[in-house]
Structure 1
Amino acid sequence: MRFILLAFITLFTFTKCTEKNRTFSQSEITLLPKPTSSTLNEGSFAFKDGQIIFADLDAQQIAVKDLQAYISKTAGLNTNTGESTNASISFYKNETLASEAYELEVNPNNINITASDAAGYFYGVQTLKQLLSIETLEEIKKTVYLIPAITIKDNPRFKWRAFMLDESRYFHGEKFVKQMLDQMALLKMNTFHWHLIDDAGWRIEIKKYPLLTEVGAFRSDSEIGTWKSGKTSGKPHGGFYTQEQIKNIVAYAKDRNINIVPEFEMPGHSSAAIAAYTWLGTAGVDIDVPVKFGRLYDNYDVTKPEVITFIKDVLTEIFELFPSKVIHIGGDEVGYEVWENSKSVQKYMKENNITSPADLQINFTNSISKFMEKNDRRMMGWNEILGKNIHTDFEEKKGDKEAETALAKNVVVHFWKGNLELLTDAAKKGYSIVNSLHSSTYLDYSHKGITLEKAYNFNPIPEGLDTQYHKNIYGLGSQMWSEWTPTNADVERQTFPRIAAYAEVGWTALDNKDYESFKVALKKMQKHWDTLGINYFKDSDKIEAELKEKTAAKKNKKE
């Protein structure tokens, strides 16, 4: 029974074989994301009980523990650490390799993993795990488990490879978050963007302001169906993470080379906080945590010193919980009307020669950015923080004046909406950019709206951007907004398998990508998801075939 249960945590298939030095075929080697280069050699390496692992550096220990745990759980084989002279598996340092890069050498006698840092060692192990497989567990102690003799040299295209989970709309819990972190690690994604604070709920315990979770973490009902449906679930919803839980999850992520970037929305999307402490708002009206989703426009009154103190207090506690050098402040979809209708805000703007609400927002943003810098942190925000009006399609914002004030240059711009010329212009001005264009990376969009192939073909570097500015594109994010995905299964259906496509976008060089090869590798990954019970979307091929058929029919009709 023990070994039957272990089968459900198997990643890929160890090849069970009594032949001790079988040579594998190229068709048996499928890896996600696709490595920079791989050369299949003759023979194979046999895993056996009691083999020695050599790793003499602290930076190698997380990778070693991960490998030992995996071999033990999937094959029931024990490994020990020891001297290099007796080792079958060895970890070596090569300082000339870039951060996160690794080299994996497998031959019939040993396995060598070489890297320059902890991330590289860890990713070498993730690739090794994908080369292992179990097909059956009978008579496991008499079985020889083989992996192919192979040489792999690998490094990422981008340094920012992110998945975002929105837990303000729906709280999913520690167990689910850890499951997502596990899958990110296998796919070599290194940034978990955690959207914890928004209108619909405040999900992180702040000791100095207990009402944020006592009040702000719970709502009486939830809108269902779609925007402005008028329908609700009829059920209350809520939940939050204690600071101890946050610390536990951060440590769990660190062991998987994942940096957690928390998002504290400001100055808009602040209804949950204002429901807890009315004095934070501009309108001065008591509100409940909203039941409806969308753009709810009472903002923090950023002209009040006590509100700025609140924001800095919350950030100080966030700094203590999250070691991330980057902290996300949202900054999107701020409704300026509430500031325009406030006499005190207008008085403040006049006294300080601030000509528009957009300029007020940038002045506030730059001030908080300076506070972050003093605490050795760096701000990140959605691209509205540049002061451009990207919401002319919103009736309530189409007349908004654009800012004259410039955003501080050290802020990371998270591009999600607007003409790509805005992104190009920001890159040319020296801003660091993460590209998460909504029409290509929003996982809440339907699988017809963003097909697997469209996700795979997304290029974070806009066409035509001069190569001298490519360094300013840090990478990409893939965003799972959860207004209409209340259950874990809903989130899984929207996220998988497209997350694998985004992982390869972030890791694999553009000229090394191949969609058909990706789909072959994905089939093996899907077997892994099956064993875990992950509710991945299974009709990607069907949808793509239907869309291609419709496109062909339209073309023929025109001709």
Structure 2
Amino acid sequence: MKKSFQLFVLLSFWVLCPVLGQTSYPILPKPLQLLPKEGTFILPQNPVIAVASTDPVLRCLAEELANKIGSVTGKDTKVFAGNFRVKDGINFVASKDDKLGEEGYFLEITPKRIIITAEQPKGFFYGIQSLLQLMPAEIYGVRRVENIKWSIPCCLIEDRPRYAYRGLMLDAARYFYPVSFIKKYIDLIALHKMNTFHWHLTDDQGWRIEIKKYPKLTQVGSQRRQTMLGHYSDQKYDGKPYGGYYTQDDIREVVRYAQERFVTVIPEIEMPGHALAALAAYPEYGNNPDKIYQVGTKWGVHEDVFAPREETFRFLEGILAEVIDLFPSQYIHIGGDECPKKQWAESRFCQELIKKEGLKDEHELQSYFIRRIDKFITSKGRKMIGWDEILEGGISPNATVMSWQGIEGGVAAAKQRHDAIMTPGNFCYLDHYQADSKTQPIAIGGFTPLEESYSYEPTPSNLTPDEAKHIIGVQGNVWTEYMPTPEYVEYMTFPRACALAEVGWTAKNDKNIDDFKKRLDVHKKRLDHLNVNYFEAPINHKFTYRWPLKK
């Protein structure tokens, strides 16, 4: 693309930006720049997708796009390799313009052809997502659609994300969700141009990942006697055994599936707290080896935590070695949150260790614990992420902080030149109520409506430009104590996750809640075709609440 034309696009964008709210361009998240143009591209009877590259990944993306178009429209769509630009078709063109980065793309739609230009396969993938969003919402269905005009509005888009890390977490420890739903969740992450699936796999109430070296983690730790009913304050239980876990083959299948959609899967293995399910299986690694531990049946924080003994570190390193082998992600999440110190304070061994290592108190003992784990993870060529409690007693040298207790943890990490991912509860916790609790299924509490999630600004204003570079992204968290089914998860997650997707992708000054809601109205039709049980969806009548609404 000629520089003069790019300049024209840039100048025209600011003049024409009000039209971006029009539902003829309902792309979500909002692109960096979009220049509307006159006319439409009408999908021909025999569309062609031309790939000007020998990259097998691009060929695969083109084949998937062709299959999607063909199966829904009934049009015979072919893929060809060649360095030419076909008319009446879609062209994949490799760019040498390094300003796009690995996730950026150009999308040009004229009445004669469509051109997607990118440097890397990720960019092409996101360009395809925008192209699909400019098509009728029926393209997201699974059945052939008759009697519809497959037209696409002409425009020119230049797009790339604001943040490198754009994540969505799912807690599969409190409730186990089938692989089929995990794949659907990943599909929805990719659809919204998020790039990270944070998989919370262990907690007090369940251990959900097979570890060959320690089979009792799933034989014992994946099963609990019963589950809480209603709110925590009700103190009622259903009296029914509950369990489930992912085999290592399941994990590999999910990781492969995510990779095909350019989604990185980050596993979370909780330590030193939230360890009750593991201790039920292997009590010798607790602070009271003679105690009979049982997998947690009550929500909340439990006092039973790992003992910082050499045997415990060897146990955890054995677990992490298998986890690292299963997950190729750069990051491994070790939790580190909500670790009660009572057992350490009462332990003669722990107190002697504090003196031996010259530690100040139990908080520094936690830092000692985390540093040991960080050293192991680093030795395997990976990076450690932990919740912001890993700052207590001094942050581990190579750690990335996930700031959930407000923004303070992220600020402290950035000022110490550590990377931080922002996920403060009041904006990013999708287990909170999203409307009047009297009208909603049971939730943990709090109140985070769509507008509040959308309003979040991840980079704190009190950071210098150099410090701000360490704020690498934003994430929505879905804790599932009150979400026993996939439908429940969808109801609580969407559309607030749509808002956070735009927070992570779109430039700060380009966000507008009214414009977002207009595009979201169209986007909901896509979610309908994907059978997503989002909040205020027409299909919510299918949603069976496990418990009655809160009175």
Question: TM-score, normalization: structure 1?
Answer: 0.85
Runs of at least 5 residues in structure 1 that lack an aligned partner in the other structure: 1-23, 388-402, 540-559
Match of 1:299 among 292, 305, 317: 305
- Name the CA distance, whole Å, in 2 between partners of 1:118 and 1:128: 15
The 5 A counterparts of 1:94-133 are 94-95=95-96, 96=98, 97-133=100-136
**Relative to structure 1, is the Cα distance of residues 364 and 139 closer, same or farther in structure 2, using a 3 angstrom cutoff?**
closer
Q: Which amino acid aligns with 2:454?
A: Y
Conserved in 2, the CA contact under 8 Å of 1:260 and 1:324? yes
Match of 2:418 in 1: 431
Spell out the pairing of 1:232-271 with structure 2 (5 A cutoff).
Answer: 232-271=237-276
Q: How high is the sequence identity, in percent, across the aligned residues?
A: 38
Which letter maps to 1:32?
Answer: L
Q: 1:56 aligns with which of 40, 50, 53?
A: 53
Shift of 1:86: 6.5
Correspondence 1:351 to 2:356: yes
Indicate which of 324, 328, 331 corresponds to 2:329.
324
- Tell me if the contact between 2:36 and 2:154 (Cα under 8 Å) persists in the aligned partners: yes
Partner in structure 2 of residue 172 of structure 1? 177
8 Å CA contact 1:271–1:298 kept in 2: the answer is yes
Q: Is the 8 A contact 2:74 2:144 kept in 1?
A: no
- CA shift in 2, pair 1:461/1:281, >3 Å: same
Match of 2:369 among 355, 364, 383: 364
Q: Aligned partner of 1:416: which letter?
A: W
2:200 aligns to what SS in structure 1? strand
2:344 matched residue in structure 1? 339
Report the Cα distance in structure 1 between the residues aligned to 2:201 and 2:146, rounded to whole angstroms: 47
Deviation at 1:465, TM superposition (A): 2.3
Aligned counterparts of 2:307 and 2:137: Cα–Cα separation in 1? 59
Distance in 1, matches of 2:409 and 2:305, equals 25
For the structure 1 residues 93 and 52, does the alpha-carbon distance in structure 2 shift closer, same or farther, using more than 3 Å as the test? closer
Distance, in Å, in 1 between the alignment partners of 2:84 and 2:331 is 43
Cα distance in structure 2, aligned partners of 1:142 and 1:491: 35
SS at match of 2:236: coil
1:1-150 equivalent positions in 2, closer than 5 A = 26-48=22-44, 49-58=46-55, 59-77=57-75, 78-85=77-84, 87=86, 88-95=89-96, 96=98, 97-133=100-136, 145-150=150-155
What is the aligned counterpart of 1:508 among 492, 506, 509? 506
Q: Does 1:440 align with 2:427?
A: yes
Please state if 1:417 is matched with 2:405.
yes
Q: Secondary structure at the match of 1:265?
A: strand
2:188 and 2:402 map into 1 onto residues whose CA distance is 23
The total of aligned residue pairs comes to 498
> CA, structure 1 residues 214+235, in 2 after alignment: closer, same or farther (shift >3 Å)?
same
8 Å CA contact 1:456–1:502 kept in 2: the answer is yes
Aligned to 2:450: 452
Distance between the aligned counterparts of 2:146 and 2:300, measured in 1?
A: 57
> 2-side partners of 1:382 and 1:433: how far apart?
10
Give CA deviations for 1:491-530 in whole Å, capped at 9, x if unaligned.
1111011010000000000101111111011111111222
- Deviation of 1:139 after TM superposition, in Å, equals 10
User: 1:226 aligns to what?
Assistant: 231
Using the TM superposition, name which of 189-198 and 78-87 deviates more: 78-87
> Where does 1:176-195 land on structure 2 (aligned, <5 Å)?
176-195=181-200
2:279 maps to which of 274, 281, 286: 274
Change (3 A) 1:139 1:98: closer
3-state SS, counterpart of residue 316 of structure 2: helix
Deviates more, 1:117-126 or 1:64-73: 64-73
Distance 1:492 1:384 in 2: 29
* Aligned match of 1:8: none
- Deviation, 1:353, is 2.1
Say if 1:25 and 1:533 are closer, same or farther in 2 by CA, change over 3 A. closer
**Partner SS, residue 384 of structure 1:** helix
Given that residues 138 and 529 in structure 2 are in contact (C-alpha distance below 8 angstroms), is that contact kept between their aligned partners in structure 1?
no
Please give the root-mean-square deviation of Cα atoms over the aligned residues, in Å. Answer: 2.2
Deviation at 1:452, TM superposition (A): 0.5
Distance across 2 between alignment mates of 1:461 and 1:122: 27
CA contact (8 A) 1:191 1:260 kept: yes
Distance in 1, Cα, partners of 2:298 & 2:154: 56
Deviations, residues 383-411 of structure 1 (Å, cap 9, x unaligned): 00001xxxxxxxxxxxxxxx2xx323321
Q: Write the letter of the residue equivalent to 1:503.
A: A
**Counterpart code for 2:298:** K
List per-residue Cα deviations over 1:47-102 (Å, max 9, x = no partner).
23252422424242343233123212321222222323363322122241212111
Return closer, same or farther for 1:459/1:202 CA change in 2, 3 Å cut-off.
same
The 2-side partners of 1:473 and 1:481 are apart by: 23
SS in structure 2 opposite 1:240? coil
Matched, 1:520 2:510: no
Q: Does 1:196 align with 2:201?
A: yes
Find runs of 4+ consecutive structure 1 residues off by over 4 angstroms: 134-144
**Paired position in structure 2 for 1:393:** none
* Contact 1:101/1:116 (8 A) holds in 2: yes
In the aligned structure 2, how far is the partner of 1:514 from the partner of 1:422? 28
Tell me, in whole angstroms, the C-alpha distance in 2 between the residues paired with 1:272 and 1:141: 53
The 3 A distance-change label for structure 1 pair 46 and 237 is same
- Residue 553 of structure 1 corresponds to none
Q: Structure 2 counterpart of 1:251, which letter?
A: R
| 1:240 Cα offset (Å) | 0.5
Contact 1:329 1:380 survives alignment (8 Å): yes
